[in-house]
């Protein structure tokens, strides 16, 4: 696969985020069809919610760390790649977040090309906004009120 | 002082923008106005609803503990938070507006978000 330029990757992530701003991503439909343990999809959705929430937190912290004086770009890149390759696999195999997984592929290839902290921040920032949106879409699928009531009865 | 027109479900509320205390946030809000979103309800802190904004605000602006009616920006999630009744906030948040008209109406639709998430919201800055 020929890696896309950093700018093209940023643009493609932004375009997808704008597309799903008010319209549910197709990823949510495919995720809900992914059957988890004991023939149910509840845990798929709950774990996808937790995982994407964790992604938001570490992407934010990587972006914050990159603003600190004297940080090493290579280490920041390697940390991001390690985290994201793991979550890309979970997104693909466990959650069927297919569009997201493809964007993560492009993102990781683009990240390898990054040569400045400024570009790193731009790239991480764009992914952070996108994953934040996906996480909020997943959260909207969870019937929190009914779950809380059922749990209280236990 | 600029006003913020807020449409939530079938209700309309108005807020005062804290342009002096949070100039960068208010400027960005004007740039993106009208800003549409879908509301999620807070799970732990109680009476709070929120929606994502498509921008970052890296600077601390007017970080304060919110009271009911306050509107703030949480940069960790690029999220606009609206505290609509009693709650226990995590800590000071960048406050940029406060609901001054029809908080009661806002509360009604915000509370419904707990059982039916995804209520549409629109923020429109009025000069």
The partner residue sitting opposite A132, judged by closest CB among B36, B52, B118, is: B52
Interchain contact, A136 vs B40, CB within 8 Å:
yes
Q: Would you say residue B49 has pLDDT above 70? A: yes
pLDDT band for position A154 (cuts 50, 70, 90): confident
Q: Compute the average pLDDT of residues A134-144.
A: 98
Q: Compute the average pLDDT of residues B78-106.
A: 97
**A2 Cβ partners below 8 Å, 6+ apart?**
none
Do residues B110 and B82 make contact, with C-beta atoms less than 8 angstroms apart?
A: yes
Q: Compute the average pLDDT of residues A128-151.
A: 97
Q: Would you say residue B30 has pLDDT above 60? A: yes
Residues of A in contact with B54 (CB under 8 A): 17-18, 21, 129
Do residues A85 and A108 make contact, with C-beta atoms less than 8 angstroms apart?
A: yes
Q: Which residues pair with B17 in a beta bridge?
A: B97
The partner residue sitting opposite B118, judged by closest CB among A17, A57, A140, is: A140
Question: Residue B50: closest CA among chain A residues belongs to which residue?
Answer: A136
Q: What is the mean pLDDT of chain B?
A: 96
The burial class, CB within 10 Å (0-12 / 13-18 / 19+), for A124 is buried
Q: Would you say residue B108 has pLDDT above 60? A: yes
Interchain contact, B38 vs A129, CB within 8 Å:
no
Q: Compute the average pLDDT of residues B55-74.
A: 96
Nearest-CA distance B3 → chain A (Å) = 24
pLDDT of residue B87: 96
| Cα separation, B80 vs B68, whole angstroms | 14
Quick: pLDDT tens for A62-113.
999 999 999 999 999 999 999 999 999 999 999 999 999 999 999 999 999 9
Nearest-CA distance B33 → chain A (Å) = 15
Residues of A in contact with B58 (CB under 8 A): 67
pLDDT band for position A1 (cuts 50, 70, 90): low
Q: Up-side HSE of residue B94: CA atoms within 13 Å toward CB? A: 22
Q: Would you say residue A130 has pLDDT above 60? A: yes
Do residues B7 and B18 make contact, with C-beta atoms less than 8 angstroms apart?
A: no
If you count residue pairs, one on A and one on B, with CB atoms under 8 Å apart, how many are there? Answer: 42
E strands present in chain B: 3-8, 11-17, 35-38, 40-41, 46-52, 63-64, 70-74, 79-87, 93-101, 120-126
Q: Pick the closest to residue B79 from A20, A48, A132, A63 (CA basis).
A: A132
Q: Would you say residue B111 has pLDDT above 60? A: yes
């Amino acid at each position: 696969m020929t890696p896309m330029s950093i700018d093209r990757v940023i643009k493609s992530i932004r375009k997808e985020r704008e597309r799903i701003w008010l319209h549910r991503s197709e990823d949510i439909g495919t995720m809900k069809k992914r059957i988890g343990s004991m023939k149910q999809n509840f845990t798929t959705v709950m774990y996808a919610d937790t995982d994407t929430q964790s992604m938001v937190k570490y992407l934010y912290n990587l972006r914050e760390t990159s603003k600190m004086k004297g940080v090493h770009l290579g280490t920041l890149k390697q940390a991001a790649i390690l985290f994201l390759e793991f979550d890309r696999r979970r997104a693909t195999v466990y959650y069927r977040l297919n569009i997201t997984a493809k964007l993560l592929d492009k993102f990781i290839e683009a990240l390898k090309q990054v040569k400045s902290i400024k570009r790193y921040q731009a790239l991480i920032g764009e992914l952070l906004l996108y994953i934040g949106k996906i996480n909020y879409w997943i959260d909207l699928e969870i019937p929190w009120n009914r779950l809380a009531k059922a749990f209280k009865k236990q | 002082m600029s006003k913020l027109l807020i449409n939530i479900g079938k209700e309309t509320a108005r807020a005062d923008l804290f342009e002096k205390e949070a100039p960068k946030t208010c400027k960005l809000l004007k740039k993106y106005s009208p800003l549409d979103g879908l509301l999620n309800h807070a799970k732990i802190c109680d009476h709070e609803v929120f929606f994502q904004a498509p921008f970052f605000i890296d600077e601390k602006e007017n970080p304060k503990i919110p009271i009911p009616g306050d509107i703030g920006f949480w940069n960790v999630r690029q999220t606009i938070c609206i505290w609509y009744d009693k709650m226990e906030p995590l800590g000071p948040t960048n406050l940029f507006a406060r609901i001054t008209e029809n908080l009661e109406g806002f509360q009604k639709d915000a509370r419904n978000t707990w059982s039916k998430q995804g209520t549409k919201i629109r923020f429109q800055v009025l000069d």
